[in-house]
Amino acid sequence: MHELAITQSVVDMVAERTVGRQVSLVRLEVGRLSGVVPDAMEFCYELLIGGTALEGSTLVIEQTAGSAHCRSCGRDFAVDDLILLCPCGSADAEVLAGRELRVLSVELVAEPCA
């Protein structure tokens, strides 16, 4: 389950960037072709945030569609899985979108006014 390692690196990175602040929400963009299963990632997230600055925070995953460009017929087509097969029958295609895996935004718990 590679989601565990990926989620761990996201949690580590967010904790590192938000030094000392409590995180309330993390919004992630996950492309359909990234190979990451959102459900598995949410499960790992819950396991990993305990005892970190992200404890109690919500993970929001925004899945983005995949698309590819066919080198045979030149058209762009939608892809939902890792099989890049153009409607024309050619598999000679390059991925245009859908491999994203990035943090879109992080919300922090408001600090009480000093």
User: Are 40 and 79 a contacting pair, CB within 8 Å?
Assistant: no
Total residues contacting Zn ion by CB under 5 A comes to: 6
Cβ 22 to Zn ion, closest distance in Å? Answer: 50
Q: Is 65 helix (H, G, I), strand (E, B) or coil?
A: coil
User: Tokens 């996950």 sit at which residue?
Assistant: 30
Q: Which residues contact 13 (CB under 8 A, 6 or more apart)?
A: 103
Span interacting with Zn ion, options 20-28, 52-60, 82-90, 96-104, rule CB under 5 A: 82-90
Contact between 88 and Zn ion by CB under 5 A: the answer reads yes
Query: Which residue of 90, 97, 100, 107 would you call a contact of Zn ion, by CB under 5 A?
Result: 90
Judged by the rule CB under 5 A, the positions of this chain that interact with Zn ion are 70, 72-73, 86, 88, 90
